[in-house]
Amino acid sequence: MNLVANSNTGIFCTEDCSEASVEAGLGRDFGSARDALAAGFRPCKKCTPLKTGLADPPWLLALMSEVEADPARRWHDHDLEVMGLDPAAVRRWFIANHGLTFHAYTRLRRLGQALQQIQHGTPVTEAAVAQGFDSESVFRDAFTQVFGNPPSAVDRESSIWINRVATPLGSMIMGVHDSGLCLLEFAERRMLETQLTRLRQRMGRVFLPGDHPLMQQVKKQLDAYFEGSLRNFSIPLQAPGTAFQEAVWDALRQIPYGAMRSYADVAATIDHPDAVRAVGRANGDNRIAIIIPCHRVVASDGELTGYGGGLWRKEFLLAMEQAQAFHLT
Separation of alpha carbons 155 and 25, rounded Å: 64
Whether the Cβ atoms of residue 152 and residue 114 lie closer than 8 Å to each other: no
Q: How many CB atoms lie within 10 A of CB 185?
A: 21
Instruction: Give dist(CA 72, CA 108) in Å, integer.
Output: 10
Rounded to whole angstroms, how far apart are CA atoms 184 and 174? 4
Q: Please state, in angstroms and rounded to a whole number, the distance separating the CA atoms of residues 228 and 324.
A: 6
What CA–CA distance (Å, rounded) separates 285 from 191?
9
Sequence-ordered list of residues with C-beta below 8 angstroms from that of 272, at least 6 positions apart, any chain: 244, 247, 278, 279
Name the residue among 165, 297, 324 with its Cα closest to residue 235. Answer: 165
Catalytic residue from among 44, 47, 182, 294: 294
Distance CA 303, CA 91 (A): 39
- Catalytic-residue membership of 294: yes
Q: Where are the alpha helices (DSSP H) in the chain?
A: 33-38, 60-69, 77-82, 87-98, 102-119, 124-130, 136-147, 192-203, 213-227, 243-253, 263-269, 276-284, 311-328
What dihedral do alpha carbons 146, 147, 149, 152 form, nearest 10°? -110
- As beta bridge partners, residue 11 has 6, 42
Residue 101 region by backbone torsions, left for phi larger than 0, else alpha for psi between -120 and 50, else beta? beta
Active site members: 294
